[in-house]
C-alpha cells in the first residue's frame, strides 16, 4: 500500500470516528430527557423501549469506535492492511468496503465457514 492509500484510509477512519463520537454525544442528551414529560404509560413504555434500542445502538457504536481506533493504531504501526491471520496484504477493494477489517477475504471466509460449521 502506498502513501496515498494510507492517507486515504487515515482520513476515512478519522472522519468516521468523529461522526460516531458526535453522534454518541447526541444520544446521551436524548437519553437524559426527563420522563415526567411523558405522563401517558404508553408513551412511557415506548420511551423505555426506545431507550433500550438506543443503548443497543450505542453498544454497537462503541464497539465500532474501538475498531476504528485500532485501525488508526495499525496505520501508525504500519501494519494497516495486513491480515492478522496469514500476514498477507488485504486487498484495497476490501479495505475500502470495510476499513476496520483485520483479515483478508480468504481468512475471513474460512473463519466464517468454521463458525457456521460449529453452529455459531
Give the interface with Zn ion as residue ranges (CB under 5 A): 83, 85-86, 104, 107
Q: Is 2 exposed, middle or buried (0-12, 13-18, 19+ CB in 10 A)?
A: exposed
State in angstroms the smallest separation of the CB of 89 from Zn ion.
Answer: 9
Distances (CA, A) of 17 to 21, 55, 70: 6, 18, 11
As given in the structure block, the three cell numbers for residue 18 are: 468523529
- In the bound state with Zn ion, the residue whose beta carbon lies nearer, of 71 and 104, is 104
- In the bound state with Zn ion, the residue whose beta carbon lies nearer, of 57 and 105, is 105
Phi-psi category of 36—alpha, beta or left, where left has phi over 0 and alpha has psi -120 to 50?
A: alpha
State in angstroms the smallest separation of the CB of 92 from Zn ion.
Answer: 15
- In the bound state with Zn ion, the residue whose beta carbon lies nearer, of 1 and 20, is 1
State in angstroms the smallest separation of the CB of 109 from Zn ion.
Answer: 10
- In the bound state with Zn ion, the residue whose beta carbon lies nearer, of 59 and 111, is 111
In angstroms, the CA 116 to CA 119 distance is 5
State in angstroms the smallest separation of the CB of 106 from Zn ion.
Answer: 5
Amino acid at each position: 500500500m502506498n502513501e496515498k492509500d494510507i492517507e486515504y484510509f487515515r482520513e476515512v477512519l478519522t472522519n468516521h470516528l468523529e461522526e460516531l463520537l458526535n453522534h454518541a454525544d447526541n444520544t446521551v442528551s436524548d437519553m437524559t430527557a426527563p420522563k415526567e414529560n411523558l405522563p401517558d404509560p404508553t408513551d412511557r413504555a415506548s420511551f423505555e423501549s426506545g431507550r433500550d434500542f438506543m443503548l443497543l445502538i450505542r453498544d454497537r457504536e462503541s464497539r465500532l469506535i474501538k475498531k476504528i481506533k485500532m485501525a488508526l493504531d495499525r496505520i501508525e504501526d504500519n501494519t494497516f492492511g495486513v491480515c492478522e491471520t496469514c500476514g498477507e496484504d488485504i486487498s484495497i477493494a476490501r479495505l475500502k468496503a470495510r476499513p476496520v477489517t483485520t483479515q483478508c477475504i480468504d481468512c475471513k471466509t474460512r473463519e466464517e465457514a468454521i463458525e457456521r460449521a460449529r453452529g455459531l
